Amino acid sequence: MEIKYQLGTADFFAWYEHLQAKQKGRSREDYYRQTLWYLGVLALAIYVSAKHEEHFVVSILLALVLFYLWQNWSFEKSWRMAAEQYSNLVPASTGTLSIDGHGLTSTGDGVTTRLNWDAVEAVETTSDHVFVR
């Protein structure tokens, strides 16, 4: 059986989401931990500057805090941006997936990939995609 397919940005976005799903919780923890450290260091710098009446330095540091929060207020926004950047790195392509008794063969853009059935760990499906590991 042969299946002709076309991969676009939305497909690579879905692949990134699927590929990184197990790491998402850990990434969220790391993201907020780094945010707290960064804001903590800035808070300490603001405190020291205010104590020594360095008003200009305090205003610069407050601007840095506001800019950082404006850029990084949400992990989901950061996660979505990473997925979009990944999906934009990979060009759209077309190809053919051949399924036979020996395994899977994908041919597209001058590259042929063969995967025997014993190398297939899992097949996961969604409403729009099939992921083969």
Judged against a pLDDT cut of 90, whether residue 85 lies above it is answered with no
- Give the distance, in angstroms, between the CA of residue 81 and the centroid of all CA atoms in the same chain: 7
CA-based R_g, the chain, Å? 23
Give per-residue pLDDT as tens, 3-54. 888 888 888 888 888 888 888 889 999 999 999 999 999 999 999 999 999 9
pTM: 0.60
DSSP state letter for 120: -
Domain ranges of the chain: 2-132
Judged against a pLDDT cut of 90, whether residue 61 lies above it is answered with yes
DSSP strands (E only) in 1-133: 2-7, 93-99, 103-108, 111-116, 123-125, 130-132
What is the amino acid identity at position 7?
Answer: L
What letters, b where the CB count within 10 A reaches 16 and e where it falls short, cover 15-48? Answer: bbbeeeeeeeeeeeeebeeebeeeeeeeeebbee
- Res 109: pLDDT: 79
